[in-house]
Amino acid sequence: AVEDAPAISPEQLGPLMSRIERHRALFLVTLLSVVGLFGWGMNRLEIETDFTKNFRGGSRIVRAYEFVESRLGGAGVFDITLPAPARLDWNYMQRVLRLEQRLREEVVVLDERGEPTPGLTKVLSLADGVVAGSPVEINGLPLRIVRDSTARKGVELMHERIPAFVDALYFTPTDENETNSDGENTAAPTKPARFRIMLRARERQPAAEKLSLIAQVDAIVRDELEQDAWAKDARLSPPNGTAHESPVGTLDQAIADRAHVTGYFVLLTNLIASLLEDQWTCFGIATLGIAVMMMLAFRSPTLAAAALVPNALPIIMVLGGMGWLGLKMNMGAAMIAAVSMGLSVDSSIHYISSFRRARRDGSTVVAAIVQTQRTVGPAVVFSTLALIVGFAVLVTSQFIPTVYFGVLVSLAMLGGLFGNLLVLPFLLLLVSPGDR
């Protein structure tokens, strides 16, 4: 039982409560200063987008990534998909080659010494294969029909040898739900053809460099597609020859609808940012839900707010501390707020319930706090330490976000423990009417 827990004598707690009561203004200013300091640190948080940082340095997957990064041009792969004609021609391929050349020359990032370096280590499409496989210089052929025929023949020859590769780089979207008895897609093409340009970049880059690289690629693609020839391709008819008008009304909308910079590299770069946004949404919903439940339980908005503060403060301190220390947010760190809040608020509920019982029995505010510290305090300490030990086991994981999650939740719960035993009594002194 709680009454059997080790007692903390009033002689020890009385002077502490007296000091807090005598210096309430100083304690409040200190508390607000801490919130401001660590809240500012939260603005300095950076996002970890390097996939290899999710694993320990000596793991096999990190070594494999290092091999790809150092010898194969980088592990960051993504694509550009463009509107394409129903039948490829040399004029279209020339436009693709010009776009590729701009990407090679204009997309730059800063290296470790702060000097600009090409951001893309590889830019490749079907057009490059046609040029490399052609026995003649296609541009040197006299007639357009001859140039187009030569380019198409090159595509056909590649399709005969590596059909899956060609189909992945030049394809026509169809309705995947229409299949025959053999499982083959029998749907007629209903959308314009698509042409893919494959891109490769270094995976092990800061988030800011990755976002800048993706933005540069997107800007160049949009700039190229604003030209009349590309705009025409954005509204091309599907290969069955039927007329097709783009449902979009303006060129900008057509470009946004038809040209996409997408793929694994883009997904991972934006994943943690999206997860972080969702965390704050979840944290807000969790905080609101807990506040409503405690208002219903205590029938006092003031007590509900007092219970939330000591549990939200450690989360702000942990995340703000990460910002000041330069630690980056990964998947594990992005999920701690709502979890920590839900775990530590239980102690606040027990503390306030015991405090209210003591007040109903006629104790003064300070006496009720001392009594609560004697009865509930030890139980809160032991239960919180048990949870911290349980979460600390996660530090043995090979997956670094799991390690972050375990460590940060443990720190937040430890902060919640001090908040419930120091900050919460102070707030109860402030908001409780009656004799001190």
User: Domain containing 287: what range?
Assistant: 2-52+271-431
Structural domain includes residue 232? yes
Q: Is residue 372, in this structure, part of any structural domain at all? A: yes
Show which of 221, 245, 262 is a domain's final residue: 262
Judge whether 351 lies within some domain: yes
Looking at the structure, tell me whether residues 161 and 103 fall in a common domain: yes
Nearest to 280 by CA among 207, 335, 321, 340: 335
pLDDT value of residue 138: 86
For 326: left if phi > 0, alpha if psi spans -120 to 50, otherwise beta; the answer is left
Contact 426, 24 (CB under 8 A): yes
> Do 378 and 344 fall into the same domain?
yes
Residues 316 and 359 in one domain: yes
Quick one: 28 and 150 in the same domain? no
Would you state the pLDDT for residue 127?
92
Judge if 88 and 214 occupy the same domain. yes
* Residue 282 pLDDT: 86
Please check whether residue 182 lies inside any domain of the structure.
no
Is 184 inside any structural domain?
no
Strands (E), 156-315: 170-171, 193-201, 260-262
Residue 65 falls inside a structural domain: no
Closest CA to 418 of 362, 352, 344: 344
Among residues 245, 262, 279, which one ends one of the domains? Answer: 262
- The CATH number of residue 412's host domain is 1.20.1640.10
Are both 252 and 164 inside the same structural domain? yes
Q: Both 134 and 164 in a single domain?
A: yes
* Residue 77 φ then ψ, to 5°: -115, 135
* pLDDT 10s digits, 30-87: 889 999 999 999 989 888 888 888 888 888 888 888 888 888 888 889 999 998 888 8
100 with 10, same domain: the answer is: no
- pLDDT < 50: residue spans in the chain: 1-12, 177, 179, 182-185, 187-188, 236-254
Q: Which residues pair with 83 in a beta bridge?
A: 194
Indicate if 219 and 279 belong to the same structural domain: no
Asked whether 78 and 187 are in contact (CB, 8 A), the reply is no
Does 427 share its domain with 329? yes
Q: How many domains does the chain have?
A: 2
What is the predicted pLDDT for the residue at 436? 53
> 283: helix, coil or strand?
helix
Cβ neighbour number for residue 16 with a 10 Å cutoff:
14
Is 420:351 a contact under the CB 8 Å cutoff?
Answer: yes
Among the candidates 262, 291, 316, a domain finishes at 262
Residue 58 lies in a domain: no
Kindly state whether residues 401 and 369 are assigned to the same domain: yes
Q: What pLDDT is attached to residue 412? A: 94
pLDDT digits (tens, 9 = 90+) for 80-119: 999 888 888 899 999 999 999 999 999 998 877 778 889 9
Write down the pLDDT at residue 4: 44
Is residue 169 domain-resident? Answer: yes
Answer yes or no: do 145 and 247 share one domain: yes
- Check residue 191 and give its pLDDT: 64
